[in-house]
């Protein structure tokens, strides 16, 4: 199995502080509109479906399906090359897409539609970063 | 609704045509600023048209990644009393849009002779092409991590055009069964066209095996799936058909134009990697020109990556949606094939001047100045620009005569 890279570090800012409070507690917070219950990505300020500004944070299930992924290989020639990184798009079971990365999986085994789940990684000096890994025991559909 | 050519109210003598084309040296051209390359391109375009520089009364400038081409170009060129001057940015769609706005200015009488120019100089000695275009994640040498939502993308490695376009390509491959061999076919066909283009940076033939042997950049993209990076400048002169007819070259008439900027959210975009805005700008531009897809004899599509060509072929309707891979692998787009596509080698093999690459080659082809790579017949060309990550689209229909 090919080892793949984990995420790099990220810092919070004013817009993302509540989200990172969530990831620190192992929760993946989306923003849900109060009038109709539509799910939105965590950076939404208005509902993408009904345009309501009345959004509140709510934990997502932390599961989804793989939409697309890329294997970014290290430059050749390095003495001790880092493992490849796997940036990816996941469609959350609640609906929104999340632009992220896959970890803990051989890239050769990835397929569109693969069930995935969130895991939180904590690079040194970083907030907890949500990344995704295949749901164990689930064959691709 | 886009007006068809028959419905255009403009006096036919005022309808727009491209009368001049100016290209500087392309590629690792060092020691020149983008501003000086832009200046040279405009001077060459005016000379090519047979115009004195002082006859230019409109100037539209645009930048690549290195910047430096601004409104000061007017003074660099010594142009007095311009009636139109602006800087535009639509990334890879800019060139087509510049010609559209220049044509509208000419047709309205706002200006008579409009120069449109792009120049860029991202290459420096000792710096790789990839470095010239890579965008930092915000971390840099000071070791403070990137912050917020953009920081999360950077932390996951979702940054830069290579990764973003590769995500789009992978989705197409998963949905339609498009293969790396199909992507290779685009690169191989364009290199074969480039062999006939003396301006091309790479002219030696390549094979599918060469493509597969080139290193991964962002899998599914290999090095030979990615465009070049070039220093250089390109300008065109847009004027009225009547005036153009009295100048040095036969006019290249601007029959149709259209833009499309879908604007779909990254939040959920069912079209991502599947359908682009060219599916709308293409039919709109053809309708304005009063021609059909079957009338198109030369096709110059934006080709930042092999995949961009493949998905654009589908969106314009040269093959069915999802069949772009089979279409290019059939050899249809190689020299001798049924479709005269990216006849100068495009940005994959010739030179990377954003939307000016397909536009300049279309002007050369419609004029019949393509030499060893000249397509026959060549009276009607479709030019496609694509900017952002399949975000911005501009289509032009150019012709040797008016229908």
Would you list the DSSP string of B182-222?
Answer: HHHHHHHHHHHHHTT-TT-S--S---HHHHHHSPEEEBTEE
> Which pLDDT belongs to residue B77?
98
Contacts of B148 in chain A (CB under 8 A): 10-13, 15-16
CATH topology of domain B5-120: Peroxisomal Thiolase; Chain A, domain 1 (3.40.47)
Distance of CA A87 to the CA centre of its chain: 10
Tell me whether residues A10 and B265 touch, CB distance under 8 A.
no
Q: How far is A42 from chain B (nearest CA, A)?
A: 9
Which residues in chain B come in under a pLDDT of 50? Answer: 1, 135-141
In sequence order, which residues have a C-beta less than 8 Å from that of residue B231 and are 6 or more positions away? B26, B27, B28, B29, B30, B32, B34, B37, B120, B121, B122, B123
Q: Which residues of B touch A85 (CB under 8 A)?
A: 157
Read off the tokens for B165: 């376009």
The pLDDT score that the predictor gives to residue A8 is 96
- For A131, the token pair is 């990344």
DSSP state of B379: S
- pLDDT confidence of residue B196: 98
pLDDT at A139: 54
How do residues B68-104 score in pLDDT, each as one tens digit? 999 999 999 999 999 999 999 999 999 999 999 999 9
How far is B370 from chain A, CA to nearest CA, in Å?
Answer: 38
Q: What percent of chain A has pLDDT over 70?
A: 96
Q: How far is CA A135 from each of CA A28, A108, A114, A115, A128, rounded to the nearest angstrom? A: 16, 16, 8, 6, 20
Q: Pick from B155, B167, B266: which is nearest to A70 by CB?
A: B167
pLDDT score of A106: 95
Instruction: Look at A73 and B217 and tell me if their CB atoms are within 8 Å.
Output: yes
Q: Regarding beta strands A87-92 and A63-69, do their DSSP bridges make them parallel or antiparallel, or are they unpaired?
A: antiparallel
Q: How does DSSP classify residue B249?
A: S
Residue B137: predicted pLDDT = 39
Q: Where are the domains of chain B?
A: 5-120
Tell me whether residue B351 is one of the annotated catalytic residues.
no
pLDDT in the model for residue A136: 81
The verdict on ipTM greater than 0.90 is yes
Contact A48 B268 (CB under 8 A): yes
Q: Are strands A39-40 and A115-121 parallel, antiparallel or unpaired?
A: unpaired
pLDDT at B143: 65
**Mean pLDDT, chain A, whole residue set:** 93
**CA–CA distance, B269 with A59 (Å, rounded to integer):** 22
Q: Are A108 and A116 within 8 A, CB to CB?
A: no
A8 contacts B139? CB cut-off 8 A: yes
Quote the pLDDT of residue B400: 97
For residue B75, what are the contacts with CB-CB under 8 A and spacing of at least 6? none
To the nearest whole Å, the CA of B172 is away from the closest chain A CA by 9
Check residue A59 and give left, alpha or beta (phi > 0: left; psi -120 to 50: alpha).
Answer: beta
Catalytic annotation present for B133 = no
- Span A41-57, mean pLDDT? 95
**Closest by Cα among A71, A62, A140, A129 to A96:** A62
Record: contact A70-B170, CB cut-off 8 A: yes
Rg (CA), chain B: 20
Chain A closest-CA separation from residue B389 CA (Å): 14
Contacts of A68 in chain B (CB under 8 A): 167-168, 170-171, 174, 272-273
Chain B residue nearest residue A113, CA to CA: B174
Say what the pLDDT of residue B33 is.
96
Chain A contact for B203, CB < 8 A? no
- Assign A137 a pLDDT band (cuts: 50, 70, 90): low
Over residues A50-69, the pLDDT tens digits come to 999 999 999 999 999 999 99
> If pLDDT is split at 50, 70 and 90, which confidence band does A81 have?
confident
* pLDDT tens digits, one per residue of A102-111: 999 999 999 9
């Amino acid at each position: 199995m090919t080892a793949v890279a984990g995420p790099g570090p990220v810092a919070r800012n004013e817009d993302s502080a509540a989200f990172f409070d969530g990831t620190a507690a192992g929760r993946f917070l989306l923003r849900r509109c109060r009038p109709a219950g539509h799910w939105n990505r965590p950076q939404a300020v208005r509902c993408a479906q009904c345009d309501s500004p009345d959004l509140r944070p709510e934990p997502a299930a932390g599961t989804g399906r793989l939409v697309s992924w890329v294997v970014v290989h290290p430059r050749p020639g390095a003495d001790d090359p880092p493992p490849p990184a796997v940036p990816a798009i996941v469609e959350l079971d609640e609906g929104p897409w999340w632009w992220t990365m896959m970890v803990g999986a051989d890239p050769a085994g990835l397929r569109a539609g693969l069930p995935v789940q969130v895991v939180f990684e904590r690079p040194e000096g970083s907030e907890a970063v949500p990344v995704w890994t295949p749901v164990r025991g689930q064959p691709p559909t | 609704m886009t007006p068809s050519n028959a419905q255009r109210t403009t006096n036919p003598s005022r309808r727009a045509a491209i009368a001049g084309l100016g290209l500087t040296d392309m590629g690792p051209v060092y020691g020149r600023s983008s501003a000086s390359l832009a200046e040279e391109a405009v001077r060459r375009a005016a000379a090519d048209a047979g115009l004195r520089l002082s006859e230019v009364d409109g100037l539209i400038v645009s930048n690549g990644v290195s910047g430096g081409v601004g409104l000061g170009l007017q003074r660099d060129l010594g142009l007095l009393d311009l009636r139109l001057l602006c800087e535009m940015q639509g990334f890879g769609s800019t060139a087509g849009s510049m010609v559209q706005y220049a044509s509208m200015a000419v047709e309205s009488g706002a200006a008579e002779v409009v120069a449109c120019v792009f120049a860029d100089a991202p290459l420096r000695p000792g710096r790789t092409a990839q470095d010239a275009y890579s965008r930092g994640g915000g971390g840099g040498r000071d070791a403070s991590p990137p912050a917020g939502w953009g920081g999360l993308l950077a932390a996951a490695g979702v940054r830069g055009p290579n990764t973003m376009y590769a995500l789009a390509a992978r989705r197409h491959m998963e949905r339609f069964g498009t293969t790396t061999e199909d992507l290779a076919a685009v690169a191989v066909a364009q290199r074969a066209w480039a062999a006939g283009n003396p301006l091309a940076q790479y002219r030696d033939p390549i094979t599918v095996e060469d493509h597969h042997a080139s290193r991964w950049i962002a899998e599914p993209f290999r090095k030979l799936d990615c465009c070049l990076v070039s220093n250089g400048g390109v300008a065109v002169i847009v004027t009225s058909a009547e005036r153009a007819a009295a100048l040095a070259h036969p006019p290249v008439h601007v029959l149709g134009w259209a833009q499309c900027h879908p604007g779909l959210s990254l939040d959920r975009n069912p079209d991502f990697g599947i359908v682009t805005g060219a599916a709308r700008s293409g039919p709109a531009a053809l309708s304005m020109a009063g021609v059909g897809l079957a009338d198109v004899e030369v096709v110059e599509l934006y080709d930042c990556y092999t995949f961009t060509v493949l998905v654009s072929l589908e969106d314009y309707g040269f093959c069915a949606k999802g069949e772009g891979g089979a279409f290019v692998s059939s050899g249809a787009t190689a020299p001798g094939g049924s479709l005269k596509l990216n006849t100068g080698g495009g940005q994959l093999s010739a030179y990377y001047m954003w939307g000016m690459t397909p536009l300049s080659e279309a002007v050369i082809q419609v004029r019949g100045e393509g030499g060893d790579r000249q397509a026959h017949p060549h009276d009607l060309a479709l030019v496609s620009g694509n900017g952002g990550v399949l975000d911005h689209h501009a289509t032009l229909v150019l012709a040797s005569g008016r229908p």
